[in-house]
Structures are given as structure tokens and as C-alpha cells.
Structure 1
Amino acid sequence: MVVERKEEGKEQLIQRPVYYISEALIESKQRYPHYQKLVYAVLRAQRRLAPYFHEHPIKVVASTPLANIIRNRDATGRIDKWAVELGVHNITYESRHAIKSQALADFLADWEEAQQPSSQADLRHWTLHFDGSKNLEGAGAGVVLTSPKGDVVRYVLQLRFEPCTNNMAEYEALLHGMRIAKEMGATRLRCLGDSDLVASQTSGTCDATDANMIAYKRAVDQAGASFAGHIVE
């Protein structure tokens, strides 16, 4: 995302980068058709940069006719659902005839250089195994964090709040593990759990409707922003 504005001493509009967003697609999303991946990219940007989409007109430039895809009245499934969510914003779609934004290209080059790892091991993901449950004796969670070099750290949590459900315990385990990984300097994180609900909600394939689940998903998104890449499976 870039913004165009006038600057003192400049006759033409100057482009400045605002945000760069990336996401590692899980296996199910990798199987999306190409046009669905493009629409999903716009959807993901809208969710991550909601304040900008709410307050400003947004122009999406692409070589694919996204306007025809998103505004197709015969669209079904994911596209129909995503089109409803995107339709509330002031978004226009333009064909890309040439790469206009040198500011964005320069920003990406600088960002990639800044993110270059100091060693080959940094290119590999840390692995986080998490699990949580609620029973008659209370609620608890467990975290096992493995570094790229094979070092293992284990944590056990006792959750002392009510009400607490199994899904809430799973989210607490995931969030605690992500915080630990951040403190230990992890930059790329692969999170593995046995909760289909948590994996589906955090990946965006399933919407969170319960207020608690919405809050937990938002917390996971915020924690995930601390990493160069993270996957929840």
C-alpha cells in the first residue's frame, strides 16, 4: 500500500509506502485458483488495514480484472462471501498497464535486505506445539517450542478464570506459545495444534462469531504481526 501526496518543493505527487503485508498460505489456500488468491490478497489487506479502508478511498491496481470477478452477480462460494465484505468500502479497481510505484519497489528492496537472516538456521521455522483443555478439575494448557537447531522448551499453564471452554484453553496455549517464541527471538513460526476451530479461524477459512473467539482471533493476529511469517495448522 502506497499513498500519494504533495510535498514541499515537489511539483508532482510523491508516492510513499504505508504498509507491506505478507502471509504464508496454508495447504488448503495454496489450492485456491489463481483468481481466488488475488481476491483473497485484497481481502487480507482490507482486514489488516481496516482503518485505512474505512476512512479513505482505495485504488487496487492489478493485471487481472478484479472488478469483474468481485462484482459478478453469479459468483458463489468464497468469492460471493468476500465480495460482500469488500463491498462496504470505497474501492476502485484499475488495470495495471505499467509498474508505476517505484516507491513501493524501493521499499520492498529495503525491507527484504533488512530481513536477511544472519545465519542459515534463521531461514527455518521455529515449531510450536500447543494444546489446551477444560475438565472437572479445571483448565490448563501446554506448550512445546522447538528451535531450528532442535532445542526444546516446555511450558505448562494453569488457567484460573471462569468461564473457560476447551476452545478458549486452546487459544490461551497458542497465544502464550507465540509470546514465548517472540521473547526467544523467533522470526518465523509454525504453530501446530489439534483444534480445527482455532486453525480455521486464525487462517480465515472459518469466521469467528462468538465474542470471545473474535477477541482471541484478534489477539493472535496482533501477536502474529511480530513475526516475519507464521502459520497455524
Structure 2
Amino acid sequence: MTAGKLRPYFLSHPTVVLTNSPLGRIVTHAELSIRMVKWTIELEEYDIEYKPRVAIKAQVLTYFLIEMVLPREEEIWRVVVDGASNLSGCGVGVVLIAPSGEKIKLARRIDSRVTNNEAEYEAVLAGLQASREVGASRVIIYSDSQLVAQQIRGTYEAKNKKMLKYLGLIAARV
């Protein structure tokens, strides 16, 4: 089922499966397991390579966790947000840029119909939530919506009830 849903991704990219079990040997040699024949037939059209998982030294993993999970107080993350609404649907896009320059890209579809300004506010909220999840303590948010940016800064007054509600949600998360 997963292979069917992710078919465009599997067809356009080579896939490497790291495993400690002999899964690659079983899938590539159908005679080892009759029950695996169907899976083998379905998966053989994809460029899947099976490699043994190599050992990770515990200290290296610890250093990685320290670097990625514990940002320094002076580090500032940049969050680029954009929201859109049209006849085919509504959605938001967020790019988190770590102080080291690494990028994390997120996209989310909005289930309800919203205006472009509401979609821009949803993008800001999604960016704030994502930055909190990665542990960013300080962020600068970049938005292409002058209205939303100026309302958040307090330069423009929000008169619409929905915009006031969004401003309250943002203020609660800052």
C-alpha cells in the first residue's frame, strides 16, 4: 500500500534501505520465501538497494544530539513563511533556516477555505510551531505579506475579527 502511494517518489529517486536483517537478500531472492514473491514483484520496478546498517559510535551520536537539540541562546533561526488560497485549495509553506545554514522545508494543506491573509497568518503560526519543535529560542520571521507583517509589528491596525484572533494566537506563542 505504501509503495503504491509513494510510487512517484520511488520511481524518481533511488532508494537505499539500511537494515540489520537479511531483508534485502530475502526480497532480491524470491526463492527464499514464497510469501515474499508478491512483494518482490511489486518492488522490483523501483531502484531499491539494500545495505547493511553500520555501527554508530555512542559518542558521535551524543555530539550530534548536543549540536542539533541544544541551540545556543544567541543563535537566531530564520523562518520564511508563505500562505496561499485559491480555487484549488489552501496551504502554507515554511522553511526553517538554522544558524548553521541547514534548511528544513515544511508544507501543509489547510482543510478549510480561508482568505489569502488568513493563509498568511496560518503560515506564520505553522512557522512558530515548527521553530518551537526544533528548539529554536530566537527566530526572525520573513513573510511576503505586508499586511500580516505590519499587523504583527503593530504598524497597521487589525479591524477584522479573524485577524484580531490570529494576532492573539501569535502573541500567545511569542
Query: TM-score, normalised on structure 1?
Result: 0.43
C-alpha offsets along residues 61-115 of structure 1, whole Å, 9 cap, x if unaligned? xxxxxxxxxxxxxxxxxxxxxxxxxxxxxxxxxxxxxxxxxxxxxxxxxxxxxxx
Partner of 2:147: 197
| Count of residue correspondences | 105
Amino acid at match of 1:159: I
- What percentage of aligned pairs have identical amino acids? 36
Alignment of 1:199-218 (within 5 A): 199-218=149-168
Separation in 1, partners of 2:150, 2:143: 11
Structure 1: segments with no counterpart, 5+ residues: 1-117, 225-233
Partner of 1:155: 106
Separation in 2, partners of 1:158, 1:179: 15
Q: CA deviation at 1:122?
A: 3.6
Alignment of 1:7-156 (within 5 A): 121-156=72-107
Task: Specify the structure having the higher radius of gyration (Cα).
Answer: 2
Partner of 2:42: none
C-alpha offsets along residues 157-197 of structure 1, whole Å, 9 cap, x if unaligned? 101113x0000000101101101101111111000010001
Separation in 1, partners of 2:154, 2:86: 28
Separation in 2, partners of 1:161, 1:139: 8
Separation in 2, partners of 1:161, 1:194: 22
Greater share of helix? 2
Partner of 1:166: 116
Separation in 2, partners of 1:147, 1:222: 23
Is structure 2 residue 116 aligned with structure 1 residue 181? no
Separation in 1, partners of 2:158, 2:76: 27
Query: TM-score, normalised on structure 2?
Result: 0.58
